[in-house]
Amino acid sequence: MDTINTRAKGFTLLELMVSMTVSAIGLIGLAGLQAASIKSNTDALKRTQANILIADITDRIRINPNGSYDIAKGTSPPSSSLACEDSNGNCSSAELALYDLSLWKCAIGSYDDSASCEALSIKGALPKGTGTITVTSSTIYTVTIEWVDYVDADGEQIASVSMTTKI
């Protein structure tokens, strides 16, 4: 009996060290998966926000088809009348279009410090987000939203979502 006991003493310590090493490698891999999952969820959130903003402005264009919604990429949110905010507001089609564009540009993200966005109390949803609306014919609209997806050694990496629709 004594010979079996003396052989087994060191073997359990070796088993413990191997199992701890395997567990540590597994936990490191799990941490990497968690980091990748968080990044993927953040990317999905940004894309979802961009799609919601595109759907919002296209609905506003459908409601006010006589308004001028053509706006360039670097354009700041236009000044608008807050009278359009009230459901009893008496806004013309052009005033409503300016109001809609102000809300939309402010909600995208690059213009948090502009006077229009501060007056509307809106903070942007996307990092350095900007948007364009291009009218290619009287009823074909292309809405594009761009934002900074991440920053690496090559600089800012831009992501975008674009939709073309007939109003």
Closest CA to 160 of 145, 150, 149: 145
Spell out the domain ranges in the chain.
2-166
Instruction: Determine phi and psi for 7, rounding to 5 degrees.
Output: -70, -35
Q: pLDDT in tens for each of the 167 residues of the chain?
A: 555 555 555 568 888 889 999 999 999 999 999 999 998 999 999 999 999 999 999 999 999 999 899 998 888 888 776 667 766 667 888 888 999 999 999 999 888 788 878 888 888 889 999 999 999 888 899 999 999 988 888 888 899 999 999 98
Residue 101 contacts residue 75 (beta carbons within 8 Å): no
